[in-house]
Structure 1
Amino acid sequence: MPGPWGAALYECRITHVRTAPIRNAFGHRTYLWLVDLDRLPPVPRPLRWLASFPSGERGLPPREEIGRYLAGEGIDLDGGRVLMLAHARSLGHAFNPLTVYWCHDRAGRPVCTVAEVRNTYGGRHRYLLHPDGRGRAEAAKEFYVSPYFPVDGRYRMVLPEPGERLALTVRLEREGGRPFTATLRGTRHPATTGRLLRAATRHPFSTWAVSAHIRLQGIALRLRGLPGHPRPGHPRPGHTCPGHTAQTKVPAP
């Protein structure tokens, strides 16, 4: 991991392309952190309003939370490193539609990748993946993300561990085609005080913008007459957090 903080910042462009039943595409720029969960960045106190890594939903440190999840799946990293790609909490807010964890054993060998997906209703689901050497993996869609797609089909993901470049792709495949593709492309910079201030200046309210883009696109699709699909009433135990059944937020696209 580069930089005196042992972490990296990626200035990124995120794109979403929907091809069916109507076509819609949008993109926006932001920045993401790549951090070692055993060595979270020592952000100076005066800057923690721009970047912090709070405990998870059960009050556990992020490393302990993902460790308990892996243990429940029968995986023991034996103290190996876990890298997390995500937004930090900034200006009191963080929303990560996709958080990726690259998990290694004590010798540094890759063991698995976890793709954690969140929706705008407060739900969460983790996909445990075993990618090939190019970061490619598949998983059946098991989580309600958008009211404009039912919970069916498969994801084809390309999630290689980031280096100088960040290049992730998630495609939804349903019978008859690939109606949705999301891409994330970015360039690595060492995480420092100066780089954090530059990123926050170039992308102010970045974490708020993520939520706003999703909700505005959802409203636009609704206004275009795209029919919705009701949410399943009972998510799989242990895979979503409390609040999954709340229905007070605008849906994601």
Structure 2
Amino acid sequence: MSAPADGARPRTPALYSCAVHHVRRTPTRYALRHRTYLWLVDLDHLPVLPHALRPLGRFRARDHFTGRAPDLRAALDDFLAEHGIDLDGGQVVMLAHARSLGHVFNPLTLYWCHDRDGRPRCVVAEVHNTYGGRHAYLLHADANGTATADKAFYVSPFNPVDGRYHMRLPLPGERLRLSVRLDRPGSAPFTATVHGRRREASVPALLRLALRHPWSTLAVSAAIRFHGIRLYLRGLPVQPRPGHRSSESTT
């Protein structure tokens, strides 16, 4: 697991104004782009907004992992314990959408995990699909934040549950630069990138972003469905969806 992209430890909480790009190369070439914003937070020191603004940013354990843990830190620690990892109270930094105006949808939530001495231990990539399913990948990234994982979760209705992800997930600094590529036999059908710039998690910054991207997480899930319909109308075949709601894997 790497240090932040600019070499400094991240200051939390922070906001990132982001551009998200998806490119599908086969069997039909298709690209989309949308803008949103993400939070970078310390799981032990989650931000609490002024009362009137709390509907714009809430972090709840029920929105992640099994949804049954008392808080987010406990949810992450439970997941790690299942894989024999104890951070001994070390810092965990999460990049995610917050629940906003009663809605949340996180296609990808990232957790950078450190031990008590501040050494990187692992990255957890938690994926949500639009069918209500969740899946967490335990990743052991190299010094550049690069990791690989066998695909084990149904995300797009146009890709079966096979192939291998190649991810570059450096811990964000002043810049956010993430990429995920799905390779399948004979092709590289899908690449996603997220690029963003850090902003202080101040009330004015949050209000500007919330006004610029109202109902941000609802817009993300609606856009996924809209583009899925367009691909279907272009004749892209739909792959059967297995009966799978939540699980986790190790890489």
- More relative contact order, 1 or 2 (CA 8 Å, 6+ apart): 2
Aligned counterpart, 2:229: 219
CA shift for structure 1 position 203: 1.3
Query: Is 1:86 the counterpart of 2:92 in the alignment?
Result: no
CA shift for structure 1 position 205: 1.5
Q: Which runs of 5+ in 1 are unaligned?
A: 241-253
Question: Which deviates the most, 222-231 or 50-59?
Answer: 50-59
CA shift for structure 1 position 59: 4.6
In the aligned structure 1, how far is the partner of 2:155 from the partner of 2:181? Answer: 13
Kindly report which structure 2 residues correspond to 1:38-53, keeping only aligned pairs within 5 A, or say none: 38-53=44-59
Aligned counterpart, 2:164: 154
CA shift for structure 1 position 42: 2.0
Aligned counterpart, 1:62: 72
Counterpart among 134, 137, 150 of residue 140 in structure 1: 150
CA shift for structure 1 position 233: 3.2
Alpha-carbon deviations, 1:95-137, whole Å to 9, x = none?
0000000000001110000000110000011110000000000
Distance 1:233 1:42, change over 3 A: closer
Contact preservation (8 Å) 2:176, 2:198: yes
Secondary structure of the corresponding residue to residue 61 of structure 2: coil
In the aligned structure 1, how far is the partner of 2:181 from the partner of 2:202? Answer: 33
Kindly report which structure 2 residues correspond to 1:114-193, keeping only aligned pairs within 5 A, or say none: 114-193=124-203
Secondary structure of the corresponding residue to residue 49 of structure 1: helix
In the aligned structure 1, how far is the partner of 2:187 from the partner of 2:59? Answer: 38
CA shift for structure 1 position 231: 1.3
Aligned counterpart, 1:108: 118
Structure 1 counterpart of 2:43, one-letter code: L
**How many residue pairs were aligned?**
236
Alpha-carbon deviations, 1:74-95, whole Å to 9, x = none?
0000000000000000011000
CA-based RMSD of the aligned residues comes to: 1.4
Question: Which deviates the most, 225-234 or 117-126?
Answer: 225-234
In the aligned structure 2, how far is the partner of 1:219 from the partner of 1:192? Answer: 38
In the aligned structure 1, how far is the partner of 2:129 from the partner of 2:105? Answer: 9
CA shift for structure 1 position 234: 5.1
Distance 1:215 1:234, change over 3 A: closer
Secondary structure of the corresponding residue to residue 75 of structure 2: helix
In the aligned structure 2, how far is the partner of 1:111 from the partner of 1:180? Answer: 28
In the aligned structure 1, how far is the partner of 2:121 from the partner of 2:20? Answer: 27
Question: Which deviates the most, 151-160 or 195-204?
Answer: 195-204
CA shift for structure 1 position 29: 0.4
In the aligned structure 1, how far is the partner of 2:44 from the partner of 2:97? Answer: 17
Kindly, what percent of the aligned residue pairs are identical? 62
Aligned counterpart, 2:38: 32
Kindly report which structure 2 residues correspond to 1:194-205, keeping only aligned pairs within 5 A, or say none: 194-205=204-215
Contact preservation (8 Å) 2:137, 2:248: no
TM-score, normalised by the number of residues in structure 1 = 0.90
TM-score, normalised by the number of residues in structure 2 = 0.91
CA shift for structure 1 position 27: 0.6
Structure 2 counterpart of 1:17, one-letter code: V
Distance 1:83 1:178, change over 3 A: same
